[in-house]
Amino acid sequence: MNKTLAMATAGLALAAPAHALEADVSAAVRRIAADAAQRVSAAVPGARVQVQVGALDPRLKLAPCEDVQPYLPPNVRLWGRARIGLRCERGPVRWNVYLPITVSVYARGLVTAAPLAAGSALTAADLREDEVDLAAGSGTAVLDPADALGRSLVRPLPAGAPLRSPDVKARQWFAAGDSVKIVAAGSGYAVSGEGQALSPGLDGQAVRVRTETGRIVTGVAVSDRRVDVSL
């Protein structure tokens, strides 16, 4: 158990020895965080979750408590730096505090094989596979070489740096004025037609398209000269 956490939670128990309750609280915190992170990372084969429990604010003056229960606060995503709630369910004073934690989710991803300059167009020789923390940093870690090759770096990267979505320019599937295929999908069916792009089609981003009838619709650029529209 984290020594700082043990010090911060010492004295919270009346019905049981402090160290026993601390172990229970720490185990429950790790279980809640790991279960939530596992659900988020279920789509990544072989991902493993690691939870690091932080420390309560040392300035807190908490009343003794016989039953400290950890819980997941509303709208908190246990991914990277996050927090778990701790509340006193039985004691002279009911209190509620937040415990910082760090949730790491490790999986195979792409890292740079050598230092790369900004503007470099990525090739297979520039990248290698290694274990990376999907929850660290901003943006999404790049796992598939097909999502990186041919794209240019936005900023320089040192050797061994995990490649993440903000590090590379979005792939442009078509230019403004190009003819594109519009695919509209609904429940159990899909229809397609032709149109003209009114703006550049950057991968995964919204784009406006004029249909053959003159109607303007908004969709998402998904591949070479293709726009998906949800109905």
Mark whether 61 and 75 lie in a shared domain.
yes
Question: What does the buried/exposed string (b/e) look like for 126-145 if buried means 16 or more CB atoms within 10 Å of the residue's CB?
Answer: bbeeeebbbbbeeeebbbee
47's tokens: 């991902």
What separation in angstroms does the CA of 61 have from each of 36, 73, 106? Answer: 30, 21, 36
Final residue of a domain: which of 120, 144, 167? Answer: 167
d(CA 158, CA 128): 13
Residue 35's pLDDT band (boundaries 50, 70, 90)? confident
Measured distance CA(94)–CA(87) in Å, rounded: 7
* CATH code for the domain in which residue 192 is found: 2.30.30.760
Could you tell me if 100 and 176 lie in one domain? no
Domain count, the chain: 3
Name the residue with tokens 């899909």: 190
Residues 178 and 212 in one domain: yes
Could you say which of 60, 85, 105 is where a domain stops? 105
* pLDDT score at 14: 24
Domain that holds residue 68: 3-105
Lowest mean pLDDT among 6-15, 144-153, 186-195: 6-15
Q: Residues 100, 65: one domain?
A: yes
The CATH number linked to 116 is 3.90.1210.10
* CB 66 within 8 Å of CB 13: yes
Of 8 and 23, the structure prediction assigns the larger pLDDT to: 23
Domain co-membership, 93 together with 124: no
Judgement on whether residues 7 and 54 belong to the same structural domain of the protein? yes
Sorted by sequence, the CB contacts under 8 Å of residue 85 that are 6+ apart come out as 70, 71, 72, 73, 96, 97, 98, 99
User: pLDDT by residue (tens digit) across 120-138?
Assistant: 999 999 999 999 999 998 8
The model's pTM is 0.67
What is residue 81's predicted lDDT score, i.e. its pLDDT? 93
